[in-house]
Homo-oligomer: A and B are copies of this chain.
């Protein structure tokens, strides 16, 4: 930390905050071994296969809930990620701002979507890093989280994308899509964005490479469940990779472990809420030190080798 880190204030333009009822809905990951990875998600997370895709992929979700994870054959990479837009006029606004920005907009096959509330609308575009991102209208979500108690059920919560340059991504998500920045690292290498009352539904981190998720996260109900989960993971021969701890940005409790393809999975609880309809906020700027991403202490997971947060 002897070299003074650069200070970068990530800007937000007019559209920022347009979306207030939008949440991550599913993610598509390419993994080398689809079946073994699906077995892991069934055994450890309680997900079930809801649909087999044409190319050998599998759509997984909880019981009667919407699907949250698509596993597709291929080298480990991010195939696409998707948001459910529940804001009134939200889909139309995104579509219009994307067209204004000259971004490619194509329709997604409605057959791949969960049961819709009202008319189905689902579009696909490309984020500044070239990742495929989808936006779709409201789906029936009841049943999500109806997993096994004991192995206390969870909600699909957020995605953190790895990139080589954070600002173009946050510019696009705030200026074109309508997210808002909640927190950033002072050096501009990590940013957390919100699109509903949760502190973040999407985060962007500079990991020195594009095209992968840094990690993604499920919600637990409470701290008590972290013990149950760590004990269950041990029973299933899955090592905890980081935590339990508490993040600075978002103030949420966390614990991390890996899937067989090497994707980092986070379990989280107690995330800070934002009430944009009642309050005027300014994004906070955190020191790029380990204690910012774990308030309780300075240990980092061994996989965070390239990051704005280093010890």
Contacts and interface: CB of A to CB of B under 8 A. Distances in A.
A238 to B, nearest CB: 9
Nearest to A286: B279
A113 to B, nearest CB: 17
Contacts of A273: 231, 234-235, 251
25 contacts: A42-B142, A46-B142, A47-B142, A48-B64, A48-B140, A142-B147, A142-B148, A146-B146, A146-B147, A146-B149, A149-B152, A150-B221, A221-B228, A230-B246, A231-B246, A233-B296, A234-B246, A234-B295, A237-B277, A239-B296, A242-B299, A272-B272, A278-B286, A279-B284, A282-B284
A126 to B, nearest CB: 31
A279 B248 CA distance: 9
Given A231-B246, A278-B292, 11 more contacts: A46-B142, A146-B149, A150-B153, A223-B223, A230-B296, A231-B296, A234-B295, A240-B245, A251-B273, A279-B292, A282-B282
A297 B241 contact: yes
Q: How large is the interface on A (under 10, 10 to 19, 20 to 34, 35 or more residues)?
A: 35 or more
Contacts of A154: 150
Query: Chain A at the B interface: mostly helix, strand, loop or mixed?
Result: loop
B291 A239 contact: yes
Contacts of A245: 230, 240
Contacts of A237: 277
A297 B145 contact: no
A11 to B, nearest CB: 15
Interface in A281-303: 281-282, 284-287, 289, 291-292, 295-299
